[in-house]
Chains A and B, each alone.
Chain A
Amino acid sequence: MFDFLTEYDVLGAFWVTVQLTVYSAIGSLIWGTILAGMRVSPVPIMRAFGTAYVNIVRNIPLTLVIIAMSLGLYQTLNIALGGGTITTTNFRLAVLGFVLYTSTFVCESLRSGINTVPVGQAEAARALGLNFGQVLRMIVLPQAFRSVIGPLTSVLIALTKNTTVASTIGVAEASLLMSEMTENESDVIGLVFMVFAMGFVILTLPAGLLLGRLAKKAAVKR
């Protein structure tokens, strides 16, 4: 019943999905943390920039962000991000798009995490003479990160599912292979769909369960 699978590299396609997810997750975590820092900083212009960036980028469809990377950045402005072949270029463009988009959700999760830290923590730190950077780095962020593991897990799971959008610019990940297979194996499209759906369930479910448990363990008891 599943012999149609041998002709396709399903595992290879899911490996690309995993790679897209990992690189984008790392990038979004970095850029998202910087954005969150801007949104809570004492400098009004940085706060304004952070707020504007989040409210603009978050409200653009991800599809448009990803297409803008390929059609706008690469094909119109010829920015190839140092990718040699078209495959690596598209992969890097997709990762850049995911980072730009996902970082807004990382930023919002972190900001809500910062808000859960009691005022007394920051006040005590300031009373000890720590400055803004030190308060953020040594007192507030460590506590905030512990309480945002749950929300960040949701962001990671969403990102895993969102990587399918990379197929619209030709990155050979799981959903691109699935479209190809549903066209070639039209007699078993139900099976093809179930294989790919289960692939995503397998990718997201353990991550959700594991990190969910970690979130409970790490949460600061107050």
Chain B
Amino acid sequence: MSAPSVLYDVPGPKAKARNAVYTVLFLAALAGVAWWIIATLAEKDQLTWEKWGPFFTDGQVWTTFIFPGLLNTLLAAGLAIVIALPLGSLFGILRLSDHVWVRVPAGTVVEFFRAVPVLILMVFADQFYSEYTDIDSDYRPLVAVVTALVLYNGAVLAEVVRAGIQSLPAGQTEAAKAIGMRKTQTMTNVLLPQAVTSMLPAIVSQLVVILKDTALGGAALGFADLFNQIRPIANNYFANTIATMTIVALIYIVLNNVLTFGAGWLEKWSRQRKTSTGAVVKPVDDNGRNV
């Protein structure tokens, strides 16, 4: 049997005893923290049934607040990824151009929007639309949120696309050239289809980032998303702020974990399929963003 980690061997009798002591100590510490949290919550009257009950017994809290909010969140995230994908692909390809006057401006645009915080993009987009366009003020937050998310995530996806295409072996381009394909044909018929499979996991992971960032619109622009339902629910159900935040957070956690799981599954799938010659592009995690 091999060790579970590079750091330690399979525990022997002495290590097992020591681990048991650590387990007990750690559990005691955890229990202490949990007790402190519960005691504080109870002291502030946050554990009463009237505050938590509505989420289990009252369907109205779901139908009037949570579901419409969730729908708006998903709508904004969906629109953002659908628009950002083609835009990001375009800029990713432009950055690979043979011509300096195409490559450099495209690179500048991408780097600029990656460096600017999404929140100030949103605030600017909202003000811009209210000054210079006559978009109905009911829809303006949604449009502003989607605009900001598209600009930022388009720039991030451009880098994903570029990495995806660059991960393909040079032989692919050379073979395409040898059979007389033009540069555009090589890109659309040979490189992009292969790159897409290797990019899929990274794209799905980017969805997690987009989904989380929609909450910025709820806080800064009053966009009626899932996050923005916290105050109205707390106002209607005995100021159950803690309970509401817990439920809303749980919904985000479940959604994002499902997406992350999907990304992992896709990564495994595209590794096994071997129809692409490129490496699987690592997901760009949160924020610009690493891993």
Contact = CB atoms under 8 A, between A and B. Distances in A.
Instruction: Answer yes or no: do A and B interact.
Output: yes
Nearest to B10: A42
B222 to A, nearest CB: 12
A61 B128 CA distance: 25
B15 A42 contact: yes
A20 B26 CA distance: 31
A140 B260 CA distance: 29
B120 A154 contact: no
A156 to B, nearest CB: 10
B257 A55 contact: yes
B26 A42 contact: no
B178 interface: no
A157 B27 CA distance: 35
B183 interface: no
Interface in A83-131: 105, 108-109, 112, 114-115, 117-119, 121-123, 126
B71 interface: no
B123 interface: yes
Contact of B290 (A56, A155, A174): A155
A5 interface: no
B290 A158 contact: yes
B256 A49 contact: no
Nearest to B240: A76
Contact-residue bracket for chain B: 35 or more
Contacts of A121: 6
Contact-residue bracket for chain A: 35 or more
A159 B117 CA distance: 10
Interface string A59-79: 111111001100110011111
A72 B241 contact: yes
A186 B256 CA distance: 37
B6 A205 contact: no
B242 A197 contact: no
B7 A122 contact: yes
B291 interface: yes
Contact of B230 (A71, A115, A174, A193): A71
Contacts of B216: 61, 63, 165
Contacts of B11: 42
9 contacts: A42-B19, A43-B23, A61-B252, A76-B241, A105-B290, A114-B6, A151-B290, A182-B123, A182-B124
Of all A-B residue pairs in the complex, the 5 with the closest CB atoms, nearest first, are A158-B287, A61-B215, A59-B256, A154-B290, A161-B117
